[in-house]
Structure 1
């Protein structure tokens, strides 16, 4: 199966052309080699890249995006593409269409933005995932997906970098960013390295930067996908407190002190029932010193549902312990990766 390149490749080739000329290299041979290598990757991953369309239940508008085959009967995409959607249609590159009647279930995790579509019967070709240690700033990425106007797959070249966005949730790793001239971005568009391994899925654009795409890393997709395949959902621990400690999106602006200051207590939560009050400073949990909110949030989120955690509090200069039962949160967060949501 062969695919055509869009104008982004031509623009990129024109930018690097002077380098080849100055170095005494043959313009034609190097461009032909680059084109051949890109075709090779597209031929390799093409059968695993799918187009996804869905109807928004709220306003009836059409949502179009992409996804990849994670396993023979599981398709990986982003939760923001499937949110409030129905009438799903999945189209493979050979023209095969999969509709709602062939979908067994859909598993979504709002916090990490990972979604899995389980097919009733499938024998699709899965992608290979790149390992986290293979990705560094400057890694070249091939953005391969579908657009509103394209016939078949489109490709753009970009460079991958790291960011400080995300990483609050224990299952969520910090997002990658890709700089590329790819104006027709779609949610779930996969980014591959030159070995045809998945680096991640596009989930949104950086505000004010049309050429910078936020990317859900393959390592997050792998961890969350494994849990969703097994359990259908991720259950996070919750005790019902808020902290005004907050957390800046930029690490250099974070202030990690000692403990977590309680700014609000949910009256329906287990912490309130055990006497935790506004103004308390949580300085320990199960014998471990708490340095900051991010650490404490991850400890509670990963605690088994129904278990108890022993909190060490400081109140008006006095230390005390509270044994608090871990429950599941009754309310979904309004904003994804929100640093100020209830713990």
Structure 2
């Protein structure tokens, strides 16, 4: 599992794709001794009903190859499955394992892009042991998401999307997946933080949780107490490649639009202005926005007249808090649509209309 580069040097920190990534103990809650035992028990939720309801829609994903190898996937080393895969050398080999969840009874499954990669064959295992070959409908490297499709004889159990925007720090969550190739596993925790940037890409906006996530959990769902998917488990912070109580999930509000595009078109098209920007303003109560550092020649931004030094403060009348707000909102705008940028130039505020272009594959 390749480490995710950090934006700032951190000698002892490693952000690891959970692609082969969840498991561990329930969070420990400390209560004052003066609180009655019955009240203490009331503080701990019982996840049994929730797990029973959602687990049928959580799947294990195996990435297969016909090449001969005796190398055991890292997420299976030291598990009861290690000997099994060694005995199968020379035949079809499991090159990786991960998790996913069914969002449509017709067989559409969400997972991480780094789980399926360039797989020659993908096999999905349901909770009842049924194995189904899967087709990769589409992938998106920038958000590390992928959509699979399986053909089943009957309607499959599915789980609904929830809104990550309404998620609060301290809220209970349940992570489900396939840690270390062991199969359906649930772990619980809370939302530790929101809007985390870990250097994974321009759309970093992760939910941080202390629900245990380990190799094999990547692509698995993070549920709220209502059984709705509010995140896709993607990466962990760990010096040991195992859960250290800091996991990251792609928020559902970001994932839903990407998955809808993959289902409809098999690919994701993003808006693009062709400008390099950085955050502007960090004083409380002061003006905030994104300052233009460079404008690519012939880009939509150049044609609209944007200049180096312009301070962009609003998009379609909505104030922006920084460069990431601009990048995400423009990326979510269909190419060809015109947006209205409010900017400060030479101390004066003005508006410029820009027709959004199509983001090139090489754009950062």
Match status 1:300 vs 2:330: yes
Match of 1:154 in 2: 185
- The structure showing larger relative contact order (alpha-carbon pairs under 8 Å, at least 6 residues apart) is 2
- Cα gap change, 1:266/1:49 in structure 2, threshold over 3 Å: closer, same or farther? same
Deviation at 1:273, TM superposition (A): 5.3
Distance, in Å, in 1 between the alignment partners of 2:23 and 2:269 is 45
Distance 1:314 1:163 in 2: 30
Write the mapping of 1:156-235 to structure 2, written as runs, cut at 5 A.
156-165=187-196, 174-184=205-215, 186-206=217-237, 210-235=244-269
Instruction: Give the 3-state SS of the residue equivalent to 2:143 in structure 1.
Output: coil
Which residue, out of 37, 50, 54, partners 1:45? 54
Structure 1 unmatched runs, 5+:
1-5, 334-340
In structure 2, list runs of 5 or more residues that go unmatched: 1-21, 74-94
Q: What is the distance in 2 between the residues matched to 1:286 and 1:197?
A: 31
- The count of residues paired between Structure 1 and Structure 2 equals 308
Partner of residue 97, structure 2: 64
Residue 169 of structure 2 corresponds to which residue in structure 1? 137
Matched, 1:281 2:294: no
Note if 1:128 corresponds to 2:157.
Answer: no
Which of 225, 232, 237 aligns to 2:271? It is 237
Tell me the residue number matched to 1:337: none
Q: How does 1:325-336 map to 2 (within 5 A)?
A: 325-333=355-363
Structure 2 residue corresponding to 1:79, chosen from 113, 118, 122: 113
CA shift in 2, pair 1:137/1:318, >3 Å: closer
| Pair 1:16–1:298, CA change in 2 (3 A) | closer
- Per the TM alignment, residue 285 of structure 1 is displaced from its structure 2 partner at its CA by 7.7
Map Cα deviations across residues 166-191 of structure 1 (whole Å, 9 max, x no partner): 5xxxx968321111345445211222
Q: What's the CA shift string for 1:100-141, capped at 9, x where partnerless?
A: 5xx2x4222333333211335562111133444763222222
Deviation at 1:93, TM superposition (A): 1.4
1:261 and 2:270 correspond:
no
Distance across 2 between alignment mates of 1:69 and 1:298: 26
Instruction: Specify the alignment match of 1:336 in structure 2.
Output: none
- The answer on whether the counterparts of 1:69 and 1:126 sit within 8 Å (CA) in structure 2 is yes
User: Shift of the alpha carbon at 1:75?
Assistant: 0.4
Distance in 2 (CA, whole Å) between partners of 1:130 and 1:322 is: 36
Shift of 1:212: 0.8
2 CA distance for matches of 1:199 and 1:275? 40
Cα distance in 1 between the residues matched to 2:319 and 2:36: 57
Distance 1:273 1:47, change over 3 A: same
Distance 1:164 1:192, change over 3 A: closer
Indicate conservation of the 8 Å contact 1:283/1:289, yes or no: no
Give how far 1:320 is off: 8.9
Contact 1:283 1:290 in 2 (8 A): no
> How high is the TM-score relative to the length of structure 1?
0.69
The root-mean-square deviation of aligned C-alpha atoms, in Å, is: 4.6
Q: Distance in 2 between matches of 1:18 and 1:25?
A: 12
What SS is found at the alignment partner of 1:47?
Answer: helix
1:89 to 116, 123, 135: 123
Report how far residue 200 of structure 1 moved: 2.1
Q: Deviations over 1:144-180 (max 9, x none)?
A: 2112252x322222122332325xxxx9683211113
- Where 1:85 maps in the other structure, the secondary structure is coil
Q: Quickly say closer, same or farther: Cα 1:21–1:181, change in 2 above 3 A.
A: farther
Task: Check conservation: 2:60, 2:184, Cα contact below 8 A.
Answer: no
